Amino acid sequence: MEYTGVLGSAMTDAPQRPASRLFAPKGGFRATAGSCMIPFGLRDWDVAGPTPGRGLDRRFDRRGKRTLGRSARRKREAAGAGAQRGHPAAKEPGSRASLAVIMILASSALLACWPLLANGALPMGSDLHTTAGYLQGFMKAFGEGDILPRWVDRPNQSLGSPAFIMFPPLPWYLAAAASWLSGSLVAGLKIYFVLVAALAALTFHLLAREWTGAPVASAIAAGLYLLLPYHVLDVYYRLAISETAAFVFFPLILLFGRRCIQAPGRGAFAGLALACAGLAMTHLVSAFIFSLFLGPWLLLETSARWSRLAAPALALICAAGLAAPIVLPALVEKSHVNISWLTEMPGGDYEANFIFGDDPMPIVGIRNPVKPMVLASAHSQLVMGAAAAIVALVLLPGGTAKRRRDVIVLSAACAASYLMQVRISGPVWRIVPELATIQFPFRFQTMTILTASLLSALAMGVLLDRRGEGRPASWRIAGGVLITVAATWNLYLARENAHIKPFRVAEEHLALTFAVECVEPAFTPVEFTGYRQFWEDAALKRQRIEMAEAAFVEGKGRVIVEEWKSSARAFRIESDGGGTVMIRSFWFPGWEGLLDGAPLELSPRPVLGTITFGVPPGSHRVTLAFRPTPLRSAAAGIGLASILLTVALAWKRPWLPSPAQPDPAGMPGEARGAGESGAPIPRLR
């Protein structure tokens, strides 16, 4: 069933235009001859002829969802997505353009991961041992029945860590699944990076194609998105599985964000909420950095009008609720760990990590070896964005004000992401809460990559436009040369970054105690006051804390370990006089104990921060379990409620006005005059 309107005297008052072309709501609606198909809630109308490439046979079903008639479907099958949407891109045959896009995306993902695939071992990335240790702990806990692992028992020299309260777990599920399926950590991590590269290329292509309308140019820019130097550095120098996965969600948020503003349907609203929640459940640092750019972008896109901002604002609220089970415990319970180590560690102070500084790091006394690479990548990516912006602004044809505004906004964001890496941005780092915990200003290069790649898509979309409107061929050639030179510089640096670390880490190295029991002082309890010395002994001297799994520290007796899992322990304790027992495990909120089935009080041992409890004389069975705290349970409840809220808001769409009648005040010019003169406005029936 479709909603149709009667075209009355408003059509006869304008004989110079066909009846089917008079009224058109902004966003792509076109009336058919004899009827006017109106989706729910359209308020913004204009009077315009047909947009090139848009079929006039567009309809909307009873839910307000846009559908296509037969003629429009035939056009979509015969033309590429860009030409179909009326963008000034080349109208290539659909099948040929689709094949080219698939080949470019697949080749880009393969090229980005080729050094990983061509070598049997993994590169000696700076985060490799930590990543391998936490991944093995995650897999162990999941295999023991923890659907959402929170505590892992092997890190910190088997004293344990609340790593997955502080780390969002989403990328670890994918890495663990790949490792299980392949039967190897090395192969699993390789599969993980290939999948993430393919997904990042796909999501960026979807965004760029919608913004530019040029499918082939968007695919090329997606390849650039994967191959810019800092993105490659993240994989091969750091093996940062969480930050690399964040590149999948950046484009999705912008894609659904603009859709949510321009045509806030159910899919756009739900997509924006899920994409933002997905980013928060992947990498908190990247989510924080991206939020600093997302807010201003939404205000610019909506002109700060609540009527347009309502849908994306509600989607972001839903996203915060969906991510609450992960984000809320991390934000609140970090007060129970030595999180200050993030800025105290060698190379952890943001003031020492601005790209032009190169002072020796404290404690270790050497310069940060990553500084030369991030300095070069910061400038090459900035040049890439600047070159693309110049080409796009010079060659964009007239009548593309929206595109020009996109270029200007992206250029400003690209420049801002660069400035956040230099010392001039110091006041911002001191003023914005939690910004110092990012540690490395060069992490803002994730935003440089996103903006420079989008600018490249816009520029290449103009360069590959066969129509070449209004600009001399020599300008286009010069623009092509400029883009090629900038891209070549970046690809050269990317190749260098992929081979800085030697490929020497085999499967047996990841099973070594040093990797499995990786030390992270930031995730030790605040009661453990010797966390700095703990790191120095472990990292620099390779010393290990010697401590029994369970033993009396006050009194005498015997402790037998009956069960030892990641988040569950069981002991048989025998003592004539009772006493105090210490467990080789750090204390953290959530640990609960039972003594012969009755509640047992646990406490952290001073200085060490390990779990201790008292036992009376006799033989007893003690069980320990790491359970959800009231905060974590409340956060889980917020997450479940947010699922229902997201579904309800997406279904009801309360931000839309009443569908009964379009607002005549929103009709400019001729359309508004027709309604005021007594001519019937298209109505629903």
Q: Are residues 487 and 387 in the same domain?
A: yes
CA–CA distance, 552 with 531 (Å, rounded to integer): 23
The encoded tokens of residue 401 equal 């004000």
- 352 occurs within a structural domain: yes
Contact 108/201 with Cβ under 8 angstroms? yes
Task: Select from 505, 525, 542 the last residue of a domain.
Answer: 505
Domain range for 667 is: 9-78+662-676
Indicate the number of domains in the chain. 3
Q: Are residues 65 and 121 in the same domain?
A: no
Task: Select from 437, 471, 505 the last residue of a domain.
Answer: 505
Q: In one letter, which amino acid is 644?
A: L
Q: Are residues 351 and 405 in the same domain?
A: yes
pTM comes to 0.82
Strand partners, 503: 123
Q: Are residues 123 and 156 in the same domain?
A: yes
Q: Are residues 495 and 595 in the same domain?
A: no
pLDDT at 57 over 90: no
CA–CA distance, 291 with 295 (Å, rounded to integer): 6
pLDDT classification of 243: cutoffs 50, 70, 90? very high
Please give the pLDDT value at position 110. Answer: 95
Q: Are residues 249 and 117 in the same domain?
A: yes
- 119 occurs within a structural domain: yes
- 2 occurs within a structural domain: no
**Residue 395 burial class via C-beta count within 10 angstroms: exposed 0-12, middle 13-18, buried 19 and up:** buried
Determine the average pLDDT of the residues in 625-642.
96
Determine the average pLDDT of the residues in 143-154.
94
pLDDT digits (tens, 9 = 90+) for 129-146: 899 999 999 999 999 999
pLDDT classification of 55: cutoffs 50, 70, 90? very low
Strand partners, 23: 47
Q: Are residues 169 and 64 in the same domain?
A: no
Please give the pLDDT value at position 113. Answer: 95
pLDDT at 407 over 60: yes
Task: Select from 505, 528, 559 the last residue of a domain.
Answer: 505
The phi, psi pair for 520, rounded to 5°, reads -135, 90
CA–CA distance, 535 with 156 (Å, rounded to integer): 9
Contact 651/645 with Cβ under 8 angstroms? no
Q: Are residues 318 and 362 in the same domain?
A: yes
pLDDT classification of 190: cutoffs 50, 70, 90? very high
**Residue 134 burial class via C-beta count within 10 angstroms: exposed 0-12, middle 13-18, buried 19 and up:** buried
- 646 occurs within a structural domain: no
pLDDT digits (tens, 9 = 90+) for 567-581: 999 999 999 999 999
In this structure, what CATH number is given to the domain that contains residue 598? 2.60.420
CA–CA distance, 47 with 23 (Å, rounded to integer): 5
Give residues with Cβ within 8 angstroms of 152, minimum separation 6. Answer: 134, 137, 138, 140, 141, 160, 161, 163, 164, 566
pLDDT classification of 3: cutoffs 50, 70, 90? very low
CA–CA distance, 82 with 91 (Å, rounded to integer): 7
Q: Are residues 103 and 26 in the same domain?
A: no
Q: Are residues 35 and 101 in the same domain?
A: no
- Arithmetic mean of pLDDT over the chain: 83
Which of the pair, 532 or 13, is modelled with greater confidence?
Answer: 532
Give residues with Cβ within 8 angstroms of 419, minimum separation 6. Answer: 425
The lowest-confidence range among 146-160, 314-328, 356-370 is 356-370
Q: Are residues 439 and 579 in the same domain?
A: no
- 209 occurs within a structural domain: yes
CA–CA distance, 284 with 573 (Å, rounded to integer): 42
Q: Are residues 53 and 138 in the same domain?
A: no
pLDDT digits (tens, 9 = 90+) for 418-454: 999 999 999 999 999 889 889 899 999 999 999 999 9
pLDDT classification of 275: cutoffs 50, 70, 90? very high
pLDDT at 74 over 50: no
